[in-house]
């Protein structure tokens, strides 16, 4: 028998959530922590030798904190919970929650108002001044996106190709420049580099430093 499927949380920004929902994002890269240490002909990570080509021994599924093929990732994103009144045909949002929710059961109050999650990525706040909650605090019951892991590999960050950058949810853009409206194509890979550094440079993992990363491929289920 094969190993049982495991579920793990994973954080995404609102921009990347939109790319997932649009079907544009099927990969994510996360820093290998701690970084493998060079040792002769090998790198070593948690006492497991990796060939210097970047190919790991077949323990990768046991080492990657995001699991291996057929495991499930549930997405944590910026969110809150709002009142929902079912007596209205289309529902009616009356305000956001000041409380933390740790139970899978959504509470109901005496006015027949239910708590329902809303998400910053949707920008459907209905004019409410919603105090968004960080993705790290999203409980499992509020998550709306599940991802099935289809592949996990390890590589240096700078190995990312243009095709991989597109799979990361970035898009090529054609813009007009000059007086004659000449067109210039902005590639996806430089956009990835910019976004990566925006998130990871202050953590010591800039694109220039070329850290080892987990490359997780997935599909929405």
What average pLDDT does the segment 78-105 reach?
A: 55
Q: Are 100 and 80 in contact (CB under 8 A)?
A: no
Which pLDDT score is estimated for 52? Answer: 73
CA distance 208 to 221: 35
- Distance (Å, whole) CA 84 – CA 90: 10
Q: How confident is the model at residue 28 (pLDDT cuts 50, 70, 90)?
A: very high
Tokens of 64: 């990657």
Its pTM surpasses 0.85: no
Residues whose CB is less than 8 angstroms from the CB of residue 135 and which lie 6 or more positions away in sequence, other chains included: 11, 12, 13, 76, 77, 78, 79
Average model confidence (pLDDT) for the chain?
Answer: 81
**Per-residue pLDDT tens over the stretch 121-170:** 987 555 556 778 899 989 898 899 999 999 999 899 999 999 999 999 99
The answer to whether residues 157 and 196 touch, using CB atoms and an 8 Å cutoff, is yes
């Amino acid at each position: 028998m094969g190993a049982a499927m495991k579920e793990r949380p994973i954080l995404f920004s609102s921009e990347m959530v939109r790319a997932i929902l649009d079907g544009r994002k099927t990969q994510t890269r996360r820093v290998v922590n701690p970084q493998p240490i060079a040792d002769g002909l090998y790198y070593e990570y948690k006492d497991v030798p990796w060939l210097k080509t970047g190919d790991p021994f077949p323990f990768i599924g046991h080492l990657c904190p995001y699991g291996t093929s057929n495991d499930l990732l549930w997405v944590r994103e910026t969110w809150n919970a709002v009142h929902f009144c079912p007596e209205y045909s289309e529902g009616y949002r009356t305000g956001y929650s000041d409380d933390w929710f740790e139970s899978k059961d959504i509470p109901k109050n005496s006015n027949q108002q239910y708590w329902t999650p809303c998400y910053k990525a949707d920008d459907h706040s209905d004019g409410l001044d919603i105090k968004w909650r960080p993705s790290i605090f999203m409980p499992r019951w509020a998550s709306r996106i599940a991802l099935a892991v289809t592949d996990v590999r390890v590589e240096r960050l700078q190995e990312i190709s243009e095709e991989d950058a597109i799979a990361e949810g970035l898009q090529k853009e054609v813009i007009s420049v000059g007086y004659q409206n000449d067109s210039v194509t902005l590639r996806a890979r430089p956009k990835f580099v910019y976004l990566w550094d925006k998130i990871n440079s202050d953590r010591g993992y800039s694109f220039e430093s070329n850290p080892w990363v987990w490359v997780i491929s997935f599909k929405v289920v």
